[in-house]
Amino acid sequence: MNSTAKRGCAALASILLALLLPTGQLHAALPDEVEGRPLPTLAPMLERTTAAVVNVAIRVRVQRRNPLWDDPFFRRFFQVPDTRVRRVRSAGSGVIVDAQAGHIVTNHHVVEHADEIRVTLSDGREYRAKLVGVDTQVDLAVLKIDADELTELPIANSDNLRVGDFVVAIGNPFGLEQTVTSGIISALGRSGLGIEGYEDFIQTDASINPGNSGGALVDLNGRLVGINAAIVAPSGGNVGIGFAIPSNLVEAITDELIEHGVVRRGRIGMTVELLNAQRAGKYGIDATQGVIVVRVDPGGAADEAGIRAGDILSSIDGQPVRRPADYDSHEAASMVGDTLVVEVIRDGRSEQFEVSIEINRSVAGDRIHRRLDGARLTDLHQNDRVSSSAGVLVSGIEQGTPAWTAGFRSGDIVLAVNGYTTPDIRELARRLESVEHAVVRVYRNGFFDDVRF
């Protein structure tokens, strides 16, 4: 055995010996380095970051029907309350993103229906939190506490993440005090899971368990790369498939909620699909890779900018669009007032368009269907599902036009076409696409009516 091998064996023996020593002697016996090289550890990074991850506990008033009320005897002769009220406590995690203002990001589902929200810091301090705002479509919520000497997490650019990058999940699983797990990024751009309205998840094998929701996914520099949101758990426990909301989307939604209290999300106004040979043949395109625009919403932001079906979408604001999930992520973060630079490939040439996201969408009816010619249509809702109202308003109409002759009137709210609801212009256009005749349900002057054409 050569001298190098002997030194390696001696070092290994010293570590094994240390592990066999009584607990009180363990720290004194473990070496800080082997063969002159320090042992790898995440401890220094975690010492800087864990203070920014908090426990979020809520109390909810739950009304349960009193079982005695089901007995007719008791119901008749005793005044038994119909319901009983109890308070339920649940817990999740959160991340301090602004130490000075006391702003904390967590998942919407962590604080949903909460009557009271309490935040506990890693040093044991506890505060009552105010709910600043929520975004149900991305499953994010922003809280605020009044506290001093807070630690915030710097936010990384999640567009720079790669599959295989090491990450660490920090949270409070199963109501335990702060817990740290490590792993790698297993996949990017996960969507189609049916978890949220907008999905562009980071997938990781770092253990994420109940209670980790709203906690931090950080890189090895201690920067926030995602907010832990969900797991796949067929057996009820962690199987190494967890999902986090990318930090770039978190930052955009957080800024909007802090500034306005609601997410004033706009729509770029396109439907995109992954380009394949069949779609390339349909549009006469030579390329067979990328993302193709298959539909442009009439009167939408992309339509007004000049983008057309058949364009190959290459980038938005300088960020490559390689999958439909990339586009969905940009649309989820597109707010009213934003102007996006969209680059497409058309007829083999690269072209750029400035797409302005506006709050009111209004379009001439003939852009939707020839029998709507003469009507002006406007989306009834203005804050992307913030308003409970949904439908398409006939905001104006000219007498003698096809729309007037069909029976539409100014002030009508279009609710459905052929039995399918139409919450916005986009859906109305889709339902009337390639349809010659239709039954359109409208709400007019307090009554429902059908317009047939």
Q: In whole angstroms, what is the distance from residue 228 CA to residue 325 CA?
A: 18
374: which 2 tokens? 């003469």
Contacts of 433 (CB under 8 A, 6+ apart): none
* CB-neighbour burial class of residue 66 (10 A; exposed 0-12, middle 13-18, buried 19+): middle
Measured CA to CA, the distance from residue 57 to residue 128 in angstroms comes to 10
For residues 313, 319, 323, 327, the Cα torsion angle rounded to the nearest 10 degrees is: -70
CA–CA gap between residue 157 and residue 375 (Å, rounded): 45
CA distance 364 to 356: 19
State the DSSP code for 401: S
Largest CA distance in the chain: 101
CB 246 within 8 A of CB 225: yes
Q: And the tokens for 263?
A: 């997410």
Nearest to 407 by CA among 439, 363, 430, 434: 439
Half-sphere exposure for 186 (CA within 13 Å, toward CB): 15
CA distance 305 to 316: 14
The candidate with the shortest Cα–Cα distance to 211, out of 235, 228, 198, is 228
Q: Are 151 and 242 in contact (CB under 8 A)?
A: no
Residues with catalytic roles: 109, 139, 213
Are the C-beta atoms of residues 237 and 208 closer than 8 Å to each other? no
Euclidean distance between CA atoms 360 and 376, whole angstroms: 13
